[in-house]
Structures are given as C-alpha cells and as structure tokens.
Chains A and B, each alone.
Chain A
C-alpha cells in the first residue's frame, strides 16, 4: 500500500510538472477556438448556445473529451517504456516495492496528472458558462458528466497508452491510437463496421443517451443504440440506464485487463 501511494504521488508530481502536459492541451484549445463552430465560442453566444444548461455542459464534455483525449493518450505513451530507456526499471525492480503496486501507482498518478489540464479547461469553461447564463445547476451537470463520461474514457486511454507501447514503438502506438479514436468513436456505423455507438464506446454513447438524455447540441444526433443496416448491431441494444452503467463497467474492466496484460508482459521479460 505504501509503495502504491508513493508511486501515485511521485508519478503525479513528475507528470504534472512537465511543461508539455500543459502546452499540448493549451495549444489544442487555441486551435479549437480559432476554427470557430466549437462550443467554446458558441456557449457564450446568446444566439447560438443551447437553452438547456445540461445540454450545454454535456455537449462541451463531448467536444473536449473527443479532442483532448488524443493529446492525453500520446503524452502518456512514453511513461512505461521510459523507465526501461532511462535504466531506472531494474533499480526499481530491485526494491521491495511490488511491481503491481508500482504499475497501478504509475497508471493512476500519471493519468491523473495528465487529466488535470483537461479538468481545468472543462470546469473553467463550464463555470464561465454557468455564470453567464445565471444557472448554477450547470456546474452540477458538469461534475456528473466529467465523472461518468470523461473519466471512464480517460482511464481506458491511459491503460492502452501505458501497456501497448510495450509491444510496439511509441510513435506507431500514437498513429494507431488516433486512428482507433476516430474509428471507434466518430465514424458512422453506416459507413463501415465500427465500435462507435456500441456498449464499448470510450466517448460514452450509452451514458450520454440514457443518463443525460443528450442527443447532440441541436437534439438531432444519436449516440447509442442500433443503427439500421449497420453491422455489429448486436453490440448496440436499445439504451437504458442499466446498460449505460454496464458500458462504463466494461470500459473500466477492459482498462484493468489491458494493464494486467502489460504487467504480465513486463514480468515475463524480467525473468
């Protein structure tokens, strides 16, 4: 337990002080504001913004989650292999601290630190929006959306980013990860077989639909459930709150399995 707590603290502090952890999300937000059409601007435009505060902050969560998770995954992709590259892994292995506790600590510490700028950006914009429209309830919805939609998605991304670069070079992981993120989240199921809108949807289609009743900013989008004529519809049952929780559990279970796989791989390499 001590090893776990120490790892969390150390990894968190090491990562949160990295300049790039702050530069990358900041540049992303600048680009995002520049292109226009994003909620970062529309939320403060009385003519454009949604009337319902819940739709506003949940829509903001979807946009920021879709975009900032990419930098999040890329930034975390060197955390695990870095210990080997710098030669500290054998030294840490020689300590009495269990490798499992150290891995769990690295995972939660580094992921939490890299998520801090995302949380700052999200809650900052949500608070400004809540004040602007004079409805404090928006902050409560923002907290709920962060916990239920963004956090499970980030946990999955972090698990992949730590474990997968053990079996392929980190740059290749970054390419495949952003390809997967587009394919498994955004691509329309009518266009090609995809995991988008299924129970395994890191962008959180089922929670968005069943827990937040969110159907896009203009209320015309569908984020979960069967799509006529698409393959893999067996993974797209009609959304219910129970299925929404199940999809969250599924994301967390896959994250845990991925980390366990990375741990087993590392243990085999040591012996």
Chain B
C-alpha cells in the first residue's frame, strides 16, 4: 500500500489535473453556445468523455518512462522497474476512470446521456470512454517504451488522436480503420460495428501495454543513451 501511495504521488500533477480538466473543457464546449438541438449538446458532452478524457490519460501515460532521474537505483530495487511503471499507469488509469465514471453518472442523472441516440445503454455505454482510454494509453505506454522520450511518445499519441479528429470519415472508410477508430460513439459511421470497435480498442490497448512491458524487461535499454 505504501508503494501504491508513493506511485500515486510520483505520477505527477498532470495525471491529477488532466482528466478533470478534460471533462470541464468538454462541458464548457457543450454549453458555451446555444446549440440548435439537445442532441448536438449531448453529442458534445459525450464527445468530451470519448475524446478529451482518453487524450489526457494517454499523454500522461506516454510520459511515465524517462522521468526518473536515477534509473539505475530503480533498476537495482527489489521491485522490477517495469512493475513500478505499470503501477503508475494503473494509478493514472484508475484516477481517470473515477473522474470519467463520475462525469458519466452526472450525465445519466441529468438526462443528457439519453439524449444522444447512440449512447449504447448505461452499462455497455461506459465503453465510450473506457475503450479509447485503454487503447490510446496503451499506445502512449508502448511508444514511451520504444522511444524512451516523453516528448516523442506524447507527439505520437496527440498526432494519432488528431488524425482521427481531422480525417474521421477517411479513417473509417475501411474495416481496420473503423475497428480502431477512437470516437465510434459520437462520430462512428457504422453503429453496427460499435461493440467490435470497442473490444478491438481494449484488446489493442492490452497488447500494446504487454509489448511495452516486454521491452522494458530489457534493462540495458533503459540505461543506454536516451533520446533527450
């Protein structure tokens, strides 16, 4: 427990502030302007959960590797360094999940959740934020493990997120793109494939985290020259 508490503190202020800020910005975007219909407002509110929350979590996860000043000490500790990093990632994702679930509960209680027709229910609908958060965070963690540079890993996460934003229809033209599309709830073009999309994202996220852990098992990669 002491270790968990320590890792929670070590995750940094960005991990604490990111998700609530993402939710707040999503709500501000939805209510900043009188929308033509409640459906549009509800779509932006759910979009905040599906777009902003995963981005905040993933960029923090991409910055986990490469922050410890004395990595040699971490590598010599009884707890393997990759387990420490995994623990930090779990802390980040758990906090993100708390914030997102609370925001979703408020949306459900106020009726905004139901006003977006493709909400996919109260329980399965939670995959709206969970699947892209795990998928994109997995990408961030793996990119961090490969590049060992928070700047580069963060750049990759934000770029993948932005490509899917800017070119939503083009990304979804083919089946692989549709299955890996992060925003299938609010901008999905094929509602029938929603469940497959969410499960693919969860699977891809888990696979990328496993890949990252595998790479981090090679300690010499972590003490060799890093891309500052």
**A residues bordering B, Cβ < 8 Å?**
18-20, 23-24, 27-28, 31-32, 35-38, 66-67, 70-71, 74-78, 82, 85-86, 168-172, 174-179, 181-183, 186, 191-193, 231
Question: Could you list 21 A-B pairs, sorted by A, with CB under 8 Å?
Answer: A20-B155, A20-B227, A24-B152, A31-B160, A35-B170, A35-B173, A38-B167, A67-B162, A70-B155, A75-B151, A78-B150, A78-B151, A170-B150, A171-B59, A172-B21, A175-B18, A175-B56, A175-B158, A179-B25, A191-B33, A191-B44
* Interchain CB contact under 8 A, B159 and A70: yes
The interface-forming segment of B9-17, B115-123, B127-135, B184-192 is: B9-17
Closest chain B residue, CB of each to CB of A182: B165
Query: In chain B, residues 6-62, which have Cβ atoms closer than 8 Å to a Cβ of chain A?
Result: 12-14, 17-18, 21-22, 25, 29, 32-33, 35, 40, 44, 52, 55-56, 59-60, 62
Closest chain B residue, CB of each to CB of A189: B33
**B residues bordering A, Cβ < 8 Å?**
12-14, 17-18, 21-22, 25, 29, 32-33, 35, 40, 44, 52, 55-56, 59-60, 62-63, 69, 147, 149-152, 154-156, 158-163, 165-167, 169-171, 173-174, 177, 227-228
* Interchain CB contact under 8 A, A31 and B13: no
Q: Give 3 closest A-B pairs by Cβ, nearest first.
A: A37-B170, A20-B152, A74-B155
* Interchain CB contact under 8 A, A24 and B170: no
- Known A35-B167, A171-B60, A175-B18; 17 more pairs at CB < 8 Å: A24-B159, A28-B163, A71-B158, A74-B155, A75-B152, A77-B151, A168-B14, A170-B154, A171-B18, A171-B59, A172-B13, A172-B59, A175-B21, A178-B161, A182-B166, A186-B166, A193-B32
Q: Name the distance in Å between A19's Cβ and chain B's nearest Cβ.
A: 6
Instruction: Report if A67-B159 is in contact (Cβ < 8 Å); known contacts: A175-B59, A186-B166.
Output: yes
Kindly list chain A residues whose C-beta atoms are within 8 Å of the C-beta of B22.
175
Kindly list chain B residues whose C-beta atoms are within 8 Å of the C-beta of A175.
14, 18, 21-22, 55-56, 59, 158
Q: Name the distance in Å between B75's Cβ and chain A's nearest Cβ.
A: 20
Kindly list chain A residues whose C-beta atoms are within 8 Å of the C-beta of B163.
28, 31-32, 35, 67
Which of A66, A171, A176 has the most C-beta atoms of chain B within 10 angstroms of its own C-beta? A171
Q: Name the distance in Å between B129's Cβ and chain A's nearest Cβ.
A: 15
Which of A27, A85, A170, A175 has the most C-beta atoms of chain B within 10 angstroms of its own C-beta? A175
Closest chain A residue, CB of each to CB of B22: A175
Closest chain B residue, CB of each to CB of A32: B163
* Interchain CB contact under 8 A, A37 and B60: no
* Interchain CB contact under 8 A, B150 and A186: no
Kindly list chain B residues whose C-beta atoms are within 8 Å of the C-beta of A181.
162
Q: Name the distance in Å between B20's Cβ and chain A's nearest Cβ.
A: 11
Kindly list chain B residues whose C-beta atoms are within 8 Å of the C-beta of A32.
163
Closest chain A residue, CB of each to CB of B170: A37
Kindly list chain A residues whose C-beta atoms are within 8 Å of the C-beta of B177.
35
* Interchain CB contact under 8 A, B155 and A75: yes
Task: Choose among A67, A168, A174, A231 the residue that contacts B154 (Cβ–Cβ < 8 A).
Answer: A174
Closest chain A residue, CB of each to CB of B177: A35
* Interchain CB contact under 8 A, A20 and B147: yes
* Interchain CB contact under 8 A, B159 and A169: no
Task: Choose among B18, B154, B173 the residue that contacts A74 (Cβ–Cβ < 8 A).
Answer: B154
* Interchain CB contact under 8 A, B33 and A193: yes
Q: Name the distance in Å between B29's Cβ and chain A's nearest Cβ.
A: 5
* Interchain CB contact under 8 A, B170 and A36: yes
Instruction: Report if A23-B147 is in contact (Cβ < 8 Å); known contacts: A70-B158, A181-B162, A192-B32.
Output: yes
Kindly list chain A residues whose C-beta atoms are within 8 Å of the C-beta of B29.
183, 192
Kindly list chain A residues whose C-beta atoms are within 8 Å of the C-beta of B161.
178
Task: Choose among A85, A170, A179 the residue that contacts B63 (Cβ–Cβ < 8 A).
Answer: A170
Q: Name the distance in Å between A190's Cβ and chain B's nearest Cβ.
A: 9
* Interchain CB contact under 8 A, B162 and A74: no
Which of A78, A172, A183 has the most C-beta atoms of chain B within 10 angstroms of its own C-beta? A172
* Interchain CB contact under 8 A, B152 and A182: no
Q: Name the distance in Å between B99's Cβ and chain A's nearest Cβ.
A: 14
* Interchain CB contact under 8 A, B32 and A24: no
Closest chain B residue, CB of each to CB of A31: B163
Determine the distance from Cα of A166 to Cα of B169 in the docked complex, in whole angstroms: 37
Instruction: Report if A172-B159 is in contact (Cβ < 8 Å); known contacts: A20-B149, A36-B173, A82-B228.
Output: no
